Every structure is written in structure tokens, then in C-alpha cells.
Amino acid sequence: MRTGIGYDIHALKKGRKLVLGGVAIPFNKGLAGHSDADALYHALVDALLGAMGEGDIGAHFSDTDPAFKNAGSALFASKTKALLKRKGWSVANVDAVILAELPKMGPYREAMKKNIARDFGIALDRIGIKAKTNEGFGAIGKGDAIACWATALIEKSTKSEARSTKQIRN
């Protein structure tokens, strides 16, 4: 088994759509970034890549690559899902925290979980999402940014893990 941790933060700006967990959330500001700036998906991708020992989101999906300009983060998720499969990993669970002063995330939590289940290939009961405010502190507390933390636990059958360890020794 391996664990990974991921973190992401994006600024909230007028004139941008707010997309978190693949859900378009009605709000007067949205997250700014090269892609759709879905901080929850980005934190999850980093947690899963970290667990696999595969670097980070920037190494796989460069923010200067025009192919990813305004890209839906579902693309990053599906590429991460494919890498997990190719390396023989399955996801035991992921857990995430959204830090946002506004809007309230509760009404969108189930839709986010469904999107994550579909795009990352993780069973619904293996996905946790919590939402907290930052109690008014700092940029997040002022409503200038939204941040997300995520952890992932991935597992392999003992046989395939033994094989990959042997490959490293050789």
C-alpha cells in the first residue's frame, strides 16, 4: 500500500466559472488558472501521482502547454486513472478538504463525489469530501482564493508489488 498527499490553491476572480469537483457552481467569481482551475481535482491528481511515485501534476500536465489551456480537469483525472491501471494500482480511498469561505459546498458534495467516481474510477464509498471555511483568516478567509487538500491510499496485489520491487532490485 502507498499513500499520497496533494494540495492546490487558486485565486477567485470575477469573470471566471467556478468549477470544483467537476461541478459548475453558481457564484459571482470563479477560480483563475490555465486549465479550468478545479483545485479539488488538482489536489486529488497530486495525491494519486504522489502515491505512485510519479511526480506531480505540473510534470504531467504543463501549465504552459496550449493543449491544456482551459482544459477540463476530467482530462487530468482520466490520464491519472489510466496511469494507475497501467501500473497495476487500485485506489483504496481518497479523502479531501475544500477550504472556501463562500459559497457553501454542502449542496454540491454528492455531485462532486459522482464526478470523481466516474473520472478517477473510484467507488463512491471510497471518496470523502469535507468543506470548511477558513474562519475569515487570510486570503481564503477574505474570499480571494479556494484551497483543497487531498490524501490517497492505493494498493496492489502482493504478487504484482513483489514483482515491481524485484524489478527495482535488478
In the complex, the residues that contact Mg ion under the rule CB under 5 A are 8, 42
Q: What phi and psi values does residue 20 have, to the nearest 5 degrees?
A: -140, 130
> How far is the first Cα of the chain from the last one, in angstroms, to the nearest whole number?
21
Which one, 35 or 101, has the nearer CB to Mg ion?
Answer: 35
Shortest Å, Cβ 148 to Mg ion: 9
Shortest Å, Cβ 123 to Mg ion: 25
Question: In the complex, which residue's CB is closest to Mg ion?
Answer: 42
Shortest Å, Cβ 10 to Mg ion: 6
Which one, 32 or 153, has the nearer CB to Mg ion?
Answer: 32
- Half-sphere exposure for 115 (CA within 13 Å, toward CB): 22
Name residue, grid cell 502482493. 158
Helices in the chain by DSSP H: which ranges?
39-52, 57-60, 74-86, 109-120, 138-141, 158-169
Which one, 76 or 89, has the nearer CB to Mg ion?
Answer: 76
Question: Positive or negative CA dihedral for 100, 16, 120, 1?
Answer: negative
Shortest Å, Cβ 158 to Mg ion: 35
Which one, 42 or 81, has the nearer CB to Mg ion?
Answer: 42
Shortest Å, Cβ 42 to Mg ion: 4
Which one, 34 or 156, has the nearer CB to Mg ion?
Answer: 34
CA distance 44 to 74: 11
